[in-house]
Amino acid sequence: MVENYQIDNLDRNILNELLRNARIPYTEIAKKFAVSPGTIHVRVEKMKQAGIIVGTRVDINVKQLGFDVCCFIGIILKSAKNYHTALKKLDELDEVVEVYYTTGQYSIFIKVMCRSIDALQDVLINKIQTIDEIQSTETLISLQNPIMRTINP
């Protein structure tokens, strides 16, 4: 990994184009910024080596797949030493899609996706709350996600 790689305006422009469409051909990006496709390729590879670009992804409309319930669960652990064990158990649950180690009221904050409220209840009662390392939880159900974006490079 290349450390301390400093991006410039061309790199920012490339990142913005890739964020809009990760499948855009390098030749199209090159034309837009009046450089060669080779320059775009080299810049992208350098940003990959520096750990700035860590992959490509497909965005999925989870509602179209039947996942209608999104919630966030604040978890209070019995002890801070239980973090790694609890994390391993949470990672085994398909419904848990994001996990954050936090400061403040909760030790861990997770995002859970389920098909229904009944499915969420099952996940809470039979999966999450049975994890020995967890002292208590608080569940917040999301009604909508009106803003979702990545950081502007």
In a domain, 152, yes or no: no
pLDDT of residue 2: 66
Pair (71, 133) in one structural domain: yes
CATH number at residue 36: 1.10.10.10
pLDDT of residue 118: 98
Pair (68, 138) in one structural domain: yes
Q: Show the tokens assigned to 124.
A: 């809470």
List alpha helices for the chain, DSSP H. Answer: 9-20, 26-33, 37-49, 83-91, 117-126
pLDDT of residue 1: 66
CATH number at residue 132: 3.30.70.920
pLDDT of residue 14: 97
- The pTM (predicted TM-score) of the whole model is 0.83
Last-in-domain residue among 35, 59, 83 = 59
Other Cβ atoms less than 10 A from the Cβ of 65: the count is 10
Spell out, as residue ranges, where the chain has pLDDT lower than 50. Answer: none
Pair (68, 82) in one structural domain: yes
In a domain, 153, yes or no: no
pLDDT of residue 113: 98
Pair (34, 6) in one structural domain: yes
| 77 and 133 Cβ atoms separated by less than 8 Å | yes
Number of domains in the chain: 2
> For the chain, percent helix, then strand, then coil, each to nearest 5?
40, 20, 40
Cα–Cα distance for residue pair 128/136, rounded to 1 Å: 10
Pair (52, 18) in one structural domain: yes
Residue-range definition of the domain harbouring residue 78: 62-142
Encode pLDDT of 109-143 as tens digits: 999 999 999 999 999 999 999 999 999 999 999 99
